[in-house]
Structure 1
Amino acid sequence: MITSVKNEKVKQWKKLHKRKERTQAGAFLVEGFHLVEEAVKSNWTVREVIIQEGVELPSWTDNYPVVSISDNVMAYISQTAAPQGIIAVIESRQQTQRSGNHLLLIDSIQDPGNLGTIIRTADAAGMDGIMLGDGTVDLYNDKVIRSTQGSIFHIPIIHANLGEMVSALKEEGFTIWATALENASNYNDIIPGNKVAIILGNEGAGVQADLIEQADRSVKIPIYGQAESLNVSIAAGILMYHLKR
């Protein structure tokens, strides 16, 4: 039982709250029974399971190193308002392989809730993969992970140079859609082809101009009310399900 927040192990766990430390360690924290179990069921590598005193151990923890901690240590390392008493240290994946005909390209989306919701929706819509460009929020940010509700463990997610990725996809016969407000076609006027990749842009600035130029077409979602724009995760959901019509 670890009871001190000054314990070396506790210090290492706490460091994983920061992107730089997660990158160096090649690991991240996952909190709560549902998310930890999703990681286990999806065969991600679990380095260790951290259990708060008084919390019943699930049977599957027999397969992993388990560390017991006191209430005060859980409060110190948890990133949620009401911890469930279980945290796992999960090994990061550097995925490079992609396949399938429906892809998302994420250009500098910075809100963790937006990215997490997009990943969750992409999983639900049966998308084949997601490419994260430079300037995008860290995939292993705790708010991103919680917003995915476990979908982070189900769908291939790759870090990529989006300019190079667009060129490669076009050579493979993909049609590239870039979301935009100007000189764009209404999405519901377009019949999707067999192979489509959608570029989604930053919440404030949108898709970068050079990526829009590379795209085969710009698409927009019509707004019928007084709102200036749609949240990017909502727009992503509409477009992804349009591909599946």
Structure 2
Amino acid sequence: MMITSLDNPIVKMAASLRQRKYRYRLKKYVAEGVKLVEEALRSNASVDFILTVNQEADYGDVKTYVVSEKIFKKLSEVESPQGVMAVINMEEHELSDIMSGSNNLLVVLDGLQDPGNIGTIIRAADAMGAGGIVVFKGTGDVYNPKAIRASMGSIFHIPVVFSQDPVVVYQELKRKGMKIAATSLEGDVYPYEIDLMNTAVIFGNEGNGISRVSEEQSDVLVKIPMDGMAESLNVAMSAAIILYEALRQRKRGGLRV
């Protein structure tokens, strides 16, 4: 049976997830598009249900509802909808969950706002083998649909921890023996000059950089070497460069120039 009414409870709930407050109230978010839905299923993300316009779709044991194209277009946030989206349950993680093992690499998001940057950094962190993402209060929503798309499915692979108190996080990281490295235009070392093994790397706001608390708690401020005329790099690009250097060091067994 096809759902054709916007007043259907399933449709109304999915529609509400376009707003951040309802995402966090219901602890659910939406991943739209064929590749994202397939990746969510392949990654064993906690998929609540799937909405599709394809009456022949088969997603195994996952609850699947067929909706009209008119309904789907109302729910979609992309210009050319592919006719499938998944409503996914947020998974809750604690800091201790992402601090296991040696040579760990964590990413801290401190005030970033652009969902494209957030999603791209999550993707880079996943690609370079980071153990998790820590998100401070004041940072944009990692479950924003644009961030989900920019992550290209990496949001399903890497645990996310939310924190209201950066000082508590930094104290716990240091207690566990982790270094704190923050990206800053005022940095005095390049990524390849410091040991990035067992390190939490902070990426700050696009315009204002890291917060004062993060700067005070950091063990080192890192900058990207640049020989051209550009004054700075996009924060997501900087993140990819630094996280790649961390991966390079891990592959080589430590810091070696």
Shorter-normalised TM range: over 0.9
Report deviation, 1:55. 5.7
CA RMSD of aligned residues (A): 1.5
CA shift digits 1:189-238 (9 cap, x unpaired): x2315311111110000011221111111111122112121100000011
Contact map agreement 1:109 1:115 (CA 8 A) in 2: yes
Q: 1:147, 1:42 → 2: CA distance?
A: 17
* The 10-residue stretch of structure 1 (167-176 or 5-14) with the greater mean CA deviation from structure 2: 5-14
Give TM-score scaled by structure 2 length: 0.89
Match of 2:252 in 1: none
Alignment of 1:80-91 (within 5 A): 80-91=78-89
- SS, match of residue 122 in structure 2: helix
Structure 1 counterpart of 2:122, one-letter code:
I
- SS, match of residue 121 in structure 2: helix
Report deviation, 1:118. 0.4
Residues 1:10 and 2:6 are matched in the alignment: no
Structure 2 counterpart of 1:172, one-letter code:
K
Contact map agreement 2:166 2:213 (CA 8 A) in 1: no
Alignment of 1:183-194 (within 5 A): 183-188=187-192, 190-194=193-197
Report deviation, 1:8. 3.4
CA shift digits 1:23-72 (9 cap, x unpaired): 111111111121112212222222211111x46414xx130221111111
Match of 1:92 in 2: 90
Q: 1:242, 1:122 → 2: CA distance?
A: 12
Between the aligned residues of both structures, percent identity stands at: 41
CA shift digits 1:114-161 (9 cap, x unpaired): 010001111111111110111111121100100011100011111123
Match of 2:170 in 1: 166
Match of 1:233 in 2: 236
Contact map agreement 1:32 1:85 (CA 8 A) in 2: yes
Structure 1 counterpart of 2:11, one-letter code:
V
Q: 2:36, 2:238 → 1: CA distance?
A: 26
Q: 1:40, 1:90 → 2: CA distance?
A: 10
Q: 2:166, 2:7 → 1: CA distance?
A: 42
Give TM-score scaled by structure 1 length: 0.93
Match of 1:103 in 2: 106
Residues 1:137 and 2:140 are matched in the alignment: yes
* Structure 1 outlier segments of 4+, above 3 Å: none
Structure 1 counterpart of 2:46, one-letter code:
T
Q: 2:187, 2:204 → 1: CA distance?
A: 16
Choose from 67, 71, 94 the match for 1:73: 71
Choose from 101, 111, 116 the match for 2:119: 116
- SS, match of residue 60 in structure 2: helix
Structure 1 counterpart of 2:71, one-letter code:
V
Q: 1:23, 1:91 → 2: CA distance?
A: 10
Q: 2:28, 2:50 → 1: CA distance?
A: 13
Structure 2, unmatched stretches of 5+, are 249-257
Structure 2 counterpart of 1:150, one-letter code:
G
Match of 1:178 in 2: 182
